[in-house]
């Protein structure tokens, strides 16, 4: 395996940190402007989520994934645990930090982790040593972190940690994944993952606009459910 298989992951994390630092410098803007900017971000994220959601080839998989994912997420209270981690960071840094560290950490983590680019890019990095997808994602995440930091504060910086862990682990096991998972199955999973993640992204956008307060982290197990459903569907049609 290429020794630099984690390069794309590292660049992604560093650009999130760099974007946060730049956003920190731009943070002292009027509250009214922050609110309007946040609404603009929220609306843009909602449109992105819709575009992703419409890519599904079998939307029933998306619905079932979200339903069972929500049940699992609520049972284990993933949203509460993620927010507790954010609150722990906030307490460690003290009350002098601007913005809600917990909100910035949770929101940015969900935006940067959910979606197909992280998986596709990490697989390309691990299997072929091709980091182009993660480089592209890193640039997008970097600019997004600038905007998020101006409204949500320094907590966005800490999202780099779960992003690097998530992408790094996929890149690390990419060769094994490529050996045991047929290309057709992986392609189908990516499509349905994109759609399922798109619904979650749409929910994040609604939260950013203040329209709702959906516990998006509790929907995350839906990604695992999607993998199981797609694999079951693929196996069934392979034997029929």
Q: Residue 222 in contact with residue 63, Cβ under 8 Å?
A: no
Q: Retrieve residue 217's tokens.
A: 């982290």
pLDDT digit string, tens, across residues 16-31: 999 999 999 887 778 7
Residues 6+ apart with CB under 8 A from 169: none
As a whole number of angstroms, the distance between CA 48 and CA 42 comes to 10
- Beta-carbon contacts of 227 under 8 Å, excluding residues fewer than 6 positions away, are 189, 193
Rg of the chain taking only CA atoms, in angstroms: 18
What is the rounded CA–CA span in Å between residue 100 and residue 48?
A: 25
Confidence of residue 240 (pLDDT cuts 50, 70, 90): low
Report pLDDT digits (tens) over 101-160. 888 999 999 999 987 889 889 999 998 888 999 999 999 999 999 989 988 888 999 999
Coil, strand or helix: which one is 182?
A: coil
SS3 readout for 24-74: HHCCCCCHHHHHHHHHHHHHHHHHHHHHHHCCCCCHHHHHHHHHHHHHHHH
Closest CA to 234 of 183, 164, 165: 183
pLDDT bracket for residue 12 (50, 70, 90): very high
Task: Write down the pTM of the prediction.
Answer: 0.85
Alpha-carbon distance of 5 to 211, in angstroms, equals 41
**Cα-Cα-Cα-Cα dihedral sign, residues 69, 52, 56, 183:** negative
Residues 198-208 have pLDDT tens digits of 999 999 999 98
- pLDDT of residue 90 exceeding 80: no
């Amino acid at each position: 395996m290429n020794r630099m298989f984690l390069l794309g992951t590292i660049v992604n994390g560093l650009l999130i940190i760099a974007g946060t630092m730049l956003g920190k410098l731009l943070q002292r803007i009027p509250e009214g402007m922050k609110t309007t900017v946040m609404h603009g971000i929220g609306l843009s994220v909602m449109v992105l989520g819709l575009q992703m959601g419409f890519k599904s080839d079998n939307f029933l998989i998306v619905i079932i994934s979200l339903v069972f994912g929500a049940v699992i997420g609520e049972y284990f209270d993933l949203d509460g645990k993620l927010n507790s981690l954010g609150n722990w960071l906030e307490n460690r840094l003290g009350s002098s930090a601007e913005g809600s560290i917990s909100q910035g950490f949770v929101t940015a983590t969900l935006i940067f982790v959910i979606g197909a680019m992280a998986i596709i890019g990490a697989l390309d990095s691990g299997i072929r040593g091709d980091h182009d997808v993660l480089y592209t994602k890193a640039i997008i995440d970097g600019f997004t972190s600038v905007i998020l930091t101006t409204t949500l504060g320094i907590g966005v910086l800490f999202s780099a940690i779960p992003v690097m862990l998530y992408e790094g682990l996929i890149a690390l096991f990419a060769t094994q994944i490529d050996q045991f998972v047929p290309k057709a199955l992986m392609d189908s999973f990516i499509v349905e993952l994109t759609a399922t993640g798109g619904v979650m992204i749409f929910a994040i956008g609604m939260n950013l606009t203040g329209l709702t307060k959906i516990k998006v982290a509790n929907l995350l197990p839906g990604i695992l459910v999607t993998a199981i459903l797609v694999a079951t569907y693929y196996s069934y049609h392979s034997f029929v």
